[in-house]
Amino acid sequence: MQIERDVPVHAGNPDRYDVKAVESYWQAQWEREELAKTEVGDKPKFYCLEQFPYPSGHLHMGHVRVYTLGDVIARYRRMNGYAVLHPMGWDAFGLPAENAAIKSGIPPRVSTMNNIAYMKHQMQEMGLSLDWSREVTTSEPEYYRFTQELFLLFFERGLAYQKEGPVNWCPSCETVLANEQVVEGACWRCDSPVTKRDLRQWYFRITDYAERLLQDLEGLDWPTEIKVQQVNWIGKSVGAEVVFPIPELGEKISVFTTRPDTLYGATYVVLAPEHPLVERLIAGKPNADAVRRFVAEERVRSDIERTAETSEKRGMFTGAYAQHPLTGQAVPIWVANYVLMDYGTGAVMGVPAHDYRDWQYARKYGLPIRVVVTPKLPVPEDLVAEREYSLPGVLVDSGPFTGMGSEEAKAAIAEHLAERGLGGPRVTYRMRDWLISRQRYWGAPIPVVHCPDCGVVPVPKSQLPVLLPENATFTGRGASPLAQIAEWVNTTCPRCGGPARRETDTMDTFVDSSWYFLRYTSPGETDRPFDPQAVAFWLPVDEYVGGKEHAVLHLLYSRFFTKVLYDAGWVPVQEPFRRLLAQGMVVYRGAKMSKSKGNTLSPETILSEWGTDATRLFILFAAPPEKDFEWTEQGVEGAYRFLQRVWRLVMREEAVPSGDTAVQDDAVRRARARAVKKVTEDLGDRRAFNTAVSALMEYTNFLYQAVGSASPPVRREALETLVLLLAPMAPHLAEELWRRLGHGESVHRQSWPTYDPRWLKEEAVEIAVQINGKVRARLTVPADLGEQELVAQALADERVRAAVGQGAVTKSVVVPGRLVSLVVR
């Protein structure tokens, strides 16, 4: 067979190819041929997406890993006959650019655009098959005008609102944070301890969607790990609301409980320090001032302080009493730090016998403990002497409910309360509404105007975008930069035409990224965020690749957005990402890379030293995608050696004597069929890239031994198959070899290889013979040998006979092609 040695231009010899020359040549060529351009037609669609990066200035190894994984999937799907959408863009709003402006004076937009240009260049050097004609940048007016338009949609639908209340404040970022962005009491981005402030802020009503966000997880092909995190975050609790009247005020306190069956054991009621009724309850009471001091103390404590001393429950008696809704007894009302204002109703009933916190609290303050649920009858003397009894059981001392089981009683008591207007069945969620306003410049301005006469007025769609002013100054001190630009803030009311002030807060950048995957389907739209038909065609994303750190941030927000847009009739899907590949971290020298540990690796150095293909191959081979991946020099060198080995295998072909051929034809065909089957399965549904690479290595090793003894057509088919199977993972080398094998069209436009299943059948197989569970012999037999024949042959074997000895075979199990198991007694 013919190998063309001097196509097309570059250096390299049969022993070693010139990585740089080959890679840069084909990158330029592919761009010219628009290889990654999104095709439309009658092919089935495949939307392959990786989380777009924040343009920090440089790619890091985590990016290299995500984009490699996505690119392999995209290339594989193209060769399998799909119209693939594989776009890229920039999550370009955000604090770092603004902080850089404070430090260096470079305007955020300038530094952002520079960073984008450099990172785009890096991605191009990685040879990623991205359709750059669909690039989106969230910080450009062409994009954020639609982020604003979507805000207006939320506003119209009652899903965007302002609320005054305690919020998470990051003193270092000088802005508020959503609950999801507070990680263990600290800011998710800068790690500073988060404090509380009372502010009027904008929220998205994500809690309206809690139940759907929970229910629809079920149908998603996502890792359990991520789904579980979302389930926990949403935090659904089923229970009852119980109303405790306060006769002296003519008011009532609502509490939420998951254990209505323990209601008769409630001996007191506790309010959160922030609870609105506190002041009215204590007014005129002897210890009113002491309670006020206590409340004030607790309110200034940050979350971390409050949770740091989890065991120390502090509280005070208000001096007021409520009425038990079922017994009518007076129960004291307390205020305590262990009750949280943001969960449930901000008040709880204290059931010391059956709740561990209430037990501790009652012990500390000498409150009565009353047993109403017991594991057995009679009630053990010491049931709650040492600790609470919180398991289900049988009700005692519970009026008409005495004798019921806990589960039955939960429903019965809730029902009873509902009938009497004292509460009833109720479901609560842990998730809070999404706080989306930020007191910063570099984000999409919230498109509303505050008018002294009309109140909050949305900016009409026709007046979008509300552009960011370019003359902002960045001092890092004081209020948002936008608030300081009088000519920008002062405007006219769209409704009455009178003087009004613009909203000076911008939107959380997670709003920008909650819909970018829709924009990619039709990035050129100028009068709407996206073309509904394009969205209908491409959505949902078939494979979404990204990091686990977004389990309850981006991934939850995007699901919420999609559901809102579905309800508005803008998109036909309720879930944006059908399948999720959550890849692990990149580790170097035993730890996650960080500047402080001094174990960083720059993609620039690595790619120029080893080339894109070797880097990609190593990333794919060293670990399954969802696990952490440790970078090692020896590892990437191994991948590099393998690629050079493939090069030599193909390039040496001309030198192979054409004499004694065809003897290995069938063996080569079988090896080829096995390789195609394995790589196809692994790159497809299994996403087991590591074993796909190992299958190619085995195939290559085999061909080294055998391909020289195959006839020319078989040999060619075997080698071309190797190149095709390698194409998604090592695209540059595969392209070079494909052309050298005499093809005029790109390997990446070829169809994925297939195989005839008959070649999967071996002529002879090795069968293990087990006697009483231990392998005693291995036989090589024809693959199609019948079960009885197989047992007969096994019994005829000398080693088997020796092992059986005088015993009798009482049972035999045959697994075709694998083993014979004999039970001997």
Partner RNA sequence: GCCGGGAUGGCGGAAUCGGCAGACGCAGAGGACUUAAAAUCCUCCAAAGGGCGACCUUUGUGCGGGUUCAAGUCCCGCUCCCGGCACCA
* Residues in 405-434 at the binding interface with RNA, rule: CB under 7 A: 428, 430
Residues in region 549-578 near RNA by CB under 7 A = 552
Question: Pick from 249, 601, 765, 809: which binds RNA (CB under 7 A)?
Answer: 765
Question: Pick from 237, 484, 574, 711: which binds RNA (CB under 7 A)?
Answer: 237
Question: Pick from 483, 795, 809, 823: which binds RNA (CB under 7 A)?
Answer: 823
CB of 632 to RNA, least distance (A): 6
Give me the residue label for tokens 């449930």: 344
Position 687 contacts RNA (CB under 7 A): no
Q: Are 150 and 90 in contact (CB under 8 A)?
A: no
Of 600, 576, 754, 734, nearest to 35 (Cα)? 734
End-to-end Cα separation, the chain, in angstroms: 61
Segment lying near RNA (by CB under 7 A), choices 34-42, 521-529, 567-575, 817-825? 817-825
CB of 194 to RNA, least distance (A): 12
Position 453 contacts RNA (CB under 7 A): no
CB of 455 to RNA, least distance (A): 32
CB of 430 to RNA, least distance (A): 4
Position 132 contacts RNA (CB under 7 A): no
Residue 399 zone, left/alpha/beta (φ > 0; ψ -120 to 50; rest):
left
Segment lying near RNA (by CB under 7 A), choices 444-452, 505-513, 700-708, 755-763? 700-708
| Burial state string for 443-469 with b = 16 or more CB within 10 A and e = fewer than 16 | bbbbbbbbbeeeeebbbeeeebbbebe
Q: Are 206 and 560 in contact (CB under 8 A)?
A: yes
Of 259, 212, 175, nearest to 506 (Cα)? 175
CB of 106 to RNA, least distance (A): 33
**Pairing status of strand 160-170 against strand 83-85:** unpaired
Biggest distance spanned by C-alpha atoms of the chain: 110
Give me the residue label for tokens 């009425």: 323
Question: Pick from 222, 365, 610, 621: which binds RNA (CB under 7 A)?
Answer: 621
Position 272 contacts RNA (CB under 7 A): yes
Cα dihedral sign, 190-194-198-201 = positive
Position 192 contacts RNA (CB under 7 A): no
- Ramachandran angles phi, psi of 277, nearest 5°: -80, -15
Q: Using the minimum distance from each CB to RNA, give the nearer residue, 183 or 217.
A: 183
Question: Pick from 122, 195, 574, 701: which binds RNA (CB under 7 A)?
Answer: 701
Position 773 contacts RNA (CB under 7 A): yes
Classified as helix, coil or strand, 296 is: helix
Residues in region 5-34 near RNA by CB under 7 A = 15-16
The string of DSSP codes covering 651-662 is: HGGGGS-SSS-S
CB of 205 to RNA, least distance (A): 18
CB of 640 to RNA, least distance (A): 8
Distance from C-alpha of 346 to C-alpha of 342, rounded to nearest angstrom:
6
At 450, the amino acid letter reads H
CB atoms within 10 A of CB 215: 11
Give me the residue label for tokens 């902002």: 472
Looking at the DSSP bridge assignments, the partners of residue 437 are 507
CB of 680 to RNA, least distance (A): 10
CB of 656 to RNA, least distance (A): 14
Dihedral angle of Cα 478, 481, 482, 484, to the nearest 10 degrees = 60
Question: Pick from 329, 402, 463, 632: which binds RNA (CB under 7 A)?
Answer: 632
Q: Using the minimum distance from each CB to RNA, give the nearer residue, 21 or 809.
A: 809
Segment lying near RNA (by CB under 7 A), choices 393-401, 445-453, 594-602, 813-821? 813-821
Segment lying near RNA (by CB under 7 A), choices 85-93, 364-372, 709-717, 773-781? 773-781
- Our measurement of the distance from residue 817's CA atom to the centroid of its chain's CA atoms, rounded to an integer in Å, reads 42
Position 688 contacts RNA (CB under 7 A): yes
Q: Are 717 and 756 in contact (CB under 8 A)?
A: no
Distance from C-alpha of 367 to C-alpha of 332, rounded to nearest angstrom:
9
Distance from C-alpha of 316 to C-alpha of 364, rounded to nearest angstrom:
11
Q: Using the minimum distance from each CB to RNA, give the nearer residue, 258 or 484.
A: 258
Residues in region 633-652 near RNA by CB under 7 A = 634-635, 637-638, 641-642, 644-645, 648
Residues in region 197-236 near RNA by CB under 7 A = 224-225, 228-229, 232-233, 235
CB of 573 to RNA, least distance (A): 26
Question: Pick from 630, 665, 762, 797: which binds RNA (CB under 7 A)?
Answer: 630
Segment lying near RNA (by CB under 7 A), choices 162-170, 205-213, 626-634, 656-664? 626-634
Binding-site size for RNA (CB under 7 A) equals 90
Distance from C-alpha of 137 to C-alpha of 92, rounded to nearest angstrom:
6
Query: Which residues have C-beta within 8 Å of that of residue 596, sequence separation ≥ 6?
Result: none
Q: Is 774 exposed, middle or buried (0-12, 13-18, 19+ CB in 10 A)?
A: exposed
Question: Pick from 122, 172, 254, 691: which binds RNA (CB under 7 A)?
Answer: 691
Segment lying near RNA (by CB under 7 A), choices 79-87, 438-446, 558-566, 682-690? 682-690
CB of 380 to RNA, least distance (A): 22
Position 686 contacts RNA (CB under 7 A): yes
Position 357 contacts RNA (CB under 7 A): yes
Question: Pick from 199, 249, 697, 795: which binds RNA (CB under 7 A)?
Answer: 697
Q: Are 800 and 780 in contact (CB under 8 A)?
A: no
Residue 738 DSSP symbol = H
CB atoms within 10 A of CB 498: 11
Position 811 contacts RNA (CB under 7 A): yes
CB of 536 to RNA, least distance (A): 33
Question: Pick from 283, 290, 775, 796: which binds RNA (CB under 7 A)?
Answer: 775
Q: Using the minimum distance from each CB to RNA, give the nearer residue, 116 or 673.
A: 673
**Pairing status of strand 423-429 against strand 160-170:** unpaired
At 376, the amino acid letter reads K
Distance from C-alpha of 803 to C-alpha of 817, rounded to nearest angstrom:
22
Question: Pick from 53, 87, 94, 344: which binds RNA (CB under 7 A)?
Answer: 344
Position 273 contacts RNA (CB under 7 A): no
Looking at the DSSP bridge assignments, the partners of residue 657 are none
CB atoms within 10 A of CB 743: 17
Position 774 contacts RNA (CB under 7 A): yes
Segment lying near RNA (by CB under 7 A), choices 138-146, 390-398, 448-456, 618-626? 618-626
Position 532 contacts RNA (CB under 7 A): no
Q: Is 129 exposed, middle or buried (0-12, 13-18, 19+ CB in 10 A)?
A: buried
Question: Pick from 37, 43, 589, 627: which binds RNA (CB under 7 A)?
Answer: 627
Position 813 contacts RNA (CB under 7 A): yes
CB of 232 to RNA, least distance (A): 5
String marking each residue 289-318 x if it binds RNA according to CB under 7 A: -----------------xx-xx-xx-----
At 790, the amino acid letter reads L
- Our measurement of the distance from residue 769's CA atom to the centroid of its chain's CA atoms, rounded to an integer in Å, reads 47
Question: Pick from 53, 94, 239, 265: which binds RNA (CB under 7 A)?
Answer: 239
Query: Which residues have C-beta within 8 Å of that of residue 48, sequence separation ≥ 6?
Result: 70, 73, 74, 77, 84, 85, 86, 541, 542, 543, 545
Position 768 contacts RNA (CB under 7 A): yes
Position 136 contacts RNA (CB under 7 A): no
CB of 487 to RNA, least distance (A): 42
Position 390 contacts RNA (CB under 7 A): no
Distance from C-alpha of 524 to C-alpha of 534, rounded to nearest angstrom:
11
At 18, the amino acid letter reads D
